[in-house]
Structure 1
Amino acid sequence: MKIEEDAKNLAKLSQNSLAAQEEGSLGEAWAQVKKNLADEAEVHLKFSAKIQSQVEKPLMNFHENFKKDMKKCDHRIADLCKQLASRYASVEKAWKALTEWQRDLEMKTQQLSNKTEEDIKKAWRKSTQTGDDLMCCVDLYNQAQSKWFEEMVTTTLELEQLEVERVEMIRQHLCQYTQLQHEVDMFNQSTVEPVDQLL
């Protein structure tokens, strides 16, 4: 991180031997500056560590969890869409079968003189069964459609809640960052005042 680099550079400056031979108030001022630089380097290192542990790491963890939640929602919606498509295909298949059996029944009815009554009864029974199958498929499709709609509403609400949590998380960590930055600024200000007094 750039803050760590700044801290290392400040530490190097605090070890600089320039003006080390100066005496009197100038020597005291220089010694104070070097001490302030060393203290500031330490504060920057602590600031960097806090930023990583209290801001960056929580945000990264939240981001990973957010991606997992989004992936779960996507998979759930995809599964529901597949189920809905499957139910619709079943309805189409049952409708096609009913149409074919009704056509067959009409043909048998028209050819009544050439067919036995038993054939007609069988055709009626098959047609009725096929109609029942169609109604069952329609019911299952309607149930799947209703479930899909409910899940869409639920998932939308969950996504809205996740977005609220994401925004709140970012806001909290921005506040945390601002507080840490304020602490560093206050420390930097406190280190300048003794030097100003010596000069």
Structure 2
Amino acid sequence: MASGTRTRRWSRTALAALLAAGAVACQAAPAAEPVTGVVTDTAACPRVPLLPPTAVPTSPEVMRLADLLEPLTSGTYAAVYGTQIADHRAGRLALCVTDTARGEELLAEVARRHPEAPVARVSLYRARYSQRAMTEAMDRIDMRDGAYAHPIYQLAPAADASGVVAESTAAGVASAELRARLEAATGGVAVSLRKGPQQEVPIGPKAAG
């Protein structure tokens, strides 16, 4: 009987030690520390002209940083990532996200994975839409010839992540009905129209028949 009592006491002690060890092992990894030097701006993503095809960004560090961001912006943080603009100001990277708090988490994670990354060069801005939302919106637009009263030549996410840009004729750009129909197709994602180059056949397969 005494032996049984000792066994039960030993079991309780061992269980307590096991639980304590398990509690330590199961603790979450420390959260990544906030990155100093990052500028968070609640303003909308800056509107800047696209670089001409021959232009080369002047900051290799910024381009390296953009490469390090890519696995996260296309993965864990794809739901908030809008766009990024290298050298929007000399030596800085504009990172536009729909949620700046999540954007700060993204940068902290990059700094944790790559301590050498120049994350302090980032300026965070607010994007109206994520890249994923804009891509899904474009997929919902009917690109077949004759789908709308005016042709749609090309679609692209807006450079400042403010919606979808659709290229059409001058008459199409002036058509409020076309814009309304396109925004109905996108599910409410904003569409801006601009005059595109004339093409023989709008992009996309022709309607059957």
- TM-score interval, smaller chain: under 0.3
Higher relative contact order (CA 8 A, sep 6+): 1
Q: Whose radius of gyration is greater, 1 or 2?
A: 1
Q: Larger % of strand: which?
A: 2
Q: Normalising by structure 2, what TM-score? A: 0.23
